[in-house]
A and B are shown apart, each in its own frame.
Chain A
Amino acid sequence: MPGGLAARALRIRESGIVVVLAVFVAVTASVQHRFLNAANIQFVLVDTTVFALLALGETMVVISRNVDLSIGSTLGLSAYLSASLFQGHSGAVVPLVFGAGLGIGLACGLANGVLVAGGRVPSLVVTLATLYIIRGIDILIVGGKEVTAASLPASFLQIPKATVGGVPDVAIAVAVVIGIGAYYLRTFRSGRDLYAIGSSPQAARLVGLPVGRRVFTAFAASGAIAGLAGVLWAAQYGTVNSSAGTGYELQVISAVVVGGVAIFGGSGGVVGAALGALLLATISTALYVLGISPFWDQAIWGFLLLVAITLDQAIGARLTAALRRRRTREPPEGPS
């Protein structure tokens, strides 16, 4: 049954990343046992959190057949502003700072959403513009200054280091957020609408889905999540200047695409995208552990991305070809 075939292909797509991940881990571990020690695993997990979060927001946007290039800038702005709250306000509490980061990101996301959904202008152009504008604002605010670890409270810097049963708290928290995101996209009407919109924007309009509102919400969510990721980034690195998060947008998009989200919308999921981000972090750590120059990192990553989209395309083409052939195998009946 062709329907079953399609479903199987999709399931293969999701598990494909897991397989690649497993192979990578197995090969690395067999060469260098150190790779699987607790410290190292914790390092990889913490390293993944920021990208996995960003991938969650980006996935929502990409599923709706849009793209958000401004997340790196949003992260940078939020990282600096929220971290600088600690300076001069010794009373600033950690949750408040996270709230501030979320709010800053949300504001950026709302701007994107208004421009894309309200102006009905291609998101690639709009978010390319806001990438510059938000980064520019960041630079204007920061100037040559930077927030240093010394000025941050220990309770804040401790966040990425805390563990429960050997698993970093942040990794658990982010996993929970990803889980909520996945659950939302799977079970809420508005979540499913995003898939419908990405599948066919015209058809979605025709059946009366609120296309503009859903796209707007996706951008707002992506911005808010990037803002949150910014605070996490600050806690992780301690030192924040005006270049935090530069260039992250393309890395996150490639993690999302490797994770099986179609670049032109409609299919894929948050879990796959997060696995893509995990793969990204794993590869760079594995190279480090294996003593291979970290300079191989990007080349491998680019190659993997190309392989992933080529395979996706090949599987899709196979499916259509199979369907076409299936139609001719049964000869038309009737007198001739």
Chain B
Amino acid sequence: MSPAVLLELRHAAKAFGAVRALADGEIELRAGEVHALVGENGAGKSTLVKILAGVHQPDAGALAINGREARLHGPAAARDAGIAVIYQEPALFGDLTVAENMFVGRQPLRGARGGRFRLPDRRIDRAAMHDQAAEIFGRLGVPLDPAVIARGLSIADQQVVEIGKALSLDARVIVMDEPTAALSAAEVDRLFDVVRALKAHGAAVLFISHRLEEVFALCDRVTVMRDGRHVLTGDVGDFTPADLVRAMVGRELAEREPRATGGGPGETVLRVERLTREGAFTDVSFTVAAGEIVALAGLVGAGRSEVARAIFGIDRYDAGAVTVGGAKLKRASPTSAMAAGIGFVPEDRRQQGLVMDMSVQQNVALASLGRLRKAGLIRAASERGMASDWAARLAIACGRLTDPVATLSGGNQQKVVLAKWLGRRPAVLIVDEPTRGIDVGTKAEVHRLLADLAREGVAVLMISSELPEVLGVSDRILVMREGRLVAELARERATEEAVMSAAMGTREVPA
């Protein structure tokens, strides 16, 4: 008996401006299967998930649900079609109870129970609601109290609530977007039991994970994506972890840009010693020398950005030390980090890198206000001069420097963030995902810029989830996994497989 195909997506494509997030996505989900979706960061998995969730409308491609063609115009349409998405960190109503979160807006009512008087009654039948919730949790094998307030639930429990909500909506297709990333081992085991229960009830589960051991432990079939394209689909049993890693990274390495390092790295500038922040990263030590580009690789959630934030002083760290040029930095003080010569291009350009309401010029000047001052006042001419100078040097395409930075394209916005920090002539530049979501041309420009900076003697620490970027731009590669530094690879020895295996913690490092 061949199980029914519940959902089928073919040749799906989606572009955001100049960035093609999904070129040829494909997935087929059968009743009663757990289907793994793997691929490195940026392979297009999230875009595919958002198409299934009704959040994004694909530019091209065909979607069939239960064999019938379907279009998901919005999240409500996806819900009605029986698709539920469980995100890594669910957004529950913190002040409502578990049961209310499951049934919000459609709580069972007393009138519906049919008493002696069938008055129109908008009162919630709390007992029935709790019974139904408890029944669902029973089905999932998780003894969660329906009456407890959602705020303060662990992420694992919150996911279970979302799964319970999906079941109460009779969802047949359940998409789990990296559900295990923030869970402890015991919680992962429990989640697996829940997933097996779902499978036993005939649902199709799309399970997205970076941990290959989970794929092999839990899933029946696997689909691999790379660069927005479907690579392969097959029974998990037919593959080894090494096969999957190769399929995920199997890219021509021709695009690796050779870089002329000016006579090797100089003196150590940035020294990070035994840095620890509870709940984020543990015992991280490394150095970056002048003229060197060090990449911090790893999966999303491995703690790389958290390390960068702690170095720059945004977050407090619990133990360890950061020194620049031999001088120890004050904890949790961006001012101290900046005074020591650190510049930081953060991960989230729109929220952290830029003040979107301000002009290009004002954003460029924002980190250098102290230097543009004369007798306490900002000199307008200096500010304009600085901005136009950097706009020219980085070839920032914008109408006027006084236009809001929000009107620029992503790539040009990123150049504005870079200009903001380069204007301070930093000794250490930390860049977190410097080319995320920007077009290919600008990407190459940013890479060239980083190389130039290194040649001028800047110590560059680059966080990147794109392996070609990691391998092509850096001199040395540090790999983090689950909050710890797990590998250090010299540029010459580094391969995509080696980095990926270290990041994912697969035992065998493919040759």
Tell whether A208 is near chain B: CB-to-CB under 8 Å: yes
Contact A192 B279 (CB under 8 A): no
Interface string of A195-218 (1 = CB under 8 A from B): 110111001101111000000000
Contact A203 B93 (CB under 8 A): yes
Tell whether A266 is near chain B: CB-to-CB under 8 Å: yes
Q: What residues of A have a CB within 8 angstroms of the CB of B507 in the complex?
A: 335
Interface string of B180-214 (1 = CB under 8 A from A): 00101110000000000000000000000001010
User: Nearest-CB distance from A121 to chain B (Å)?
Assistant: 19
Contact A208 B76 (CB under 8 A): yes
Tell whether A144 is near chain B: CB-to-CB under 8 Å: no
A-B contact pairs, 19 of them (CB 8 A): A2-B152, A3-B153, A7-B148, A10-B149, A187-B124, A192-B100, A193-B104, A195-B96, A196-B96, A196-B100, A199-B94, A199-B96, A206-B75, A327-B279, A328-B282, A328-B483, A333-B185, A335-B507, A336-B484
Assuming the A-B contacts A324-B279, A328-B279, are A192 and B481 also in contact, with contact meaning beta carbons closer than 8 angstroms in the complex? no
Assuming the A-B contacts A3-B149, A7-B149, A192-B96, are A336 and B157 also in contact, with contact meaning beta carbons closer than 8 angstroms in the complex? no
Assembled-state Cα–Cα distance A200/B104 (Å) = 13
User: Nearest-CB distance from B236 to chain A (Å)?
Assistant: 18
Closest B residue to A5 by CB, please name it.
B152
Assuming the A-B contacts A187-B126, A209-B105, are A336 and B154 also in contact, with contact meaning beta carbons closer than 8 angstroms in the complex? no
Assembled-state Cα–Cα distance A334/B107 (Å) = 42
Q: A199-B95, A334-B213 are known; give 4 further A-B pairs, CB within 8 A.
A: A2-B153, A6-B149, A324-B279, A332-B483
Give chain B's interface residues, CB within 8 Å of chain A.
75-76, 91, 93-96, 98, 100, 104-105, 107, 109, 122-124, 126, 145, 148-149, 151-154, 157, 182, 184-186, 211, 213, 278-279, 282, 481-484, 486, 505, 507
Assembled-state Cα–Cα distance A18/B484 (Å) = 48
Q: Give the interface residue-count category, chain A.
A: 35 or more
Partner of B185 from the list A188, A198, A204, A332 (CB cut-off 8 Å) is: A332
Assembled-state Cα–Cα distance A131/B238 (Å) = 72
Q: What residues of B have a CB within 8 angstroms of the CB of A196 in the complex?
A: 93, 96, 100, 104-105
Q: What residues of B have a CB within 8 angstroms of the CB of A203 in the complex?
A: 91, 93
| SS class, residues of chain A in contact with chain B | helix
Assembled-state Cα–Cα distance A335/B503 (Å) = 11
Q: Top 9 A-B pairs ranked by shortest CB distance?
A: A6-B152, A330-B184, A332-B482, A199-B93, A324-B279, A266-B95, A333-B185, A3-B148, A267-B95
Partner of B481 from the list A207, A319, A336 (CB cut-off 8 Å) is: A336
Closest A residue to B148 by CB, please name it.
A3
Tell whether A91 is near chain B: CB-to-CB under 8 Å: no
Assembled-state Cα–Cα distance A188/B481 (Å) = 47
Closest B residue to A330 by CB, please name it.
B184
Contact A192 B107 (CB under 8 A): yes
Assembled-state Cα–Cα distance A4/B145 (Å) = 9
Contact B104 A327 (CB under 8 A): no
Assuming the A-B contacts A195-B95, A334-B213, A334-B505, are A189 and B105 also in contact, with contact meaning beta carbons closer than 8 angstroms in the complex? yes
Contact B122 A189 (CB under 8 A): yes
Closest B residue to A193 by CB, please name it.
B105
Of B91, B100, B109, B152, chain A has the most CB atoms within 10 Å of the CB of: B152
Tell whether A145 is near chain B: CB-to-CB under 8 Å: no
Tell whether A190 is near chain B: CB-to-CB under 8 Å: yes
User: Nearest-CB distance from B71 to chain A (Å)?
Assistant: 19
Interface string of A203-240 (1 = CB under 8 A from B): 11011110000000000000000000000000000000
Q: What residues of A have a CB within 8 angstroms of the CB of B148 in the complex?
A: 3-4, 6-7
Q: What residues of A have a CB within 8 angstroms of the CB of B278 in the complex?
A: 324-325, 328
Tell whether A323 is near chain B: CB-to-CB under 8 Å: yes
User: Nearest-CB distance from B283 to chain A (Å)?
Assistant: 12
Assembled-state Cα–Cα distance A200/B76 (Å) = 18
Assembled-state Cα–Cα distance A3/B94 (Å) = 11
Q: What residues of A have a CB within 8 angstroms of the CB of B211 in the complex?
A: 334
User: Nearest-CB distance from A186 to chain B (Å)?
Assistant: 8
User: Nearest-CB distance from A261 to chain B (Å)?
Assistant: 11
Assembled-state Cα–Cα distance A330/B483 (Å) = 13
Tell whether A326 is near chain B: CB-to-CB under 8 Å: yes
Contact B105 A2 (CB under 8 A): no
Assembled-state Cα–Cα distance A204/B75 (Å) = 13
Closest A residue to B481 by CB, please name it.
A336
Q: What residues of A have a CB within 8 angstroms of the CB of B186 in the complex?
A: 330
Contact B153 A208 (CB under 8 A): no
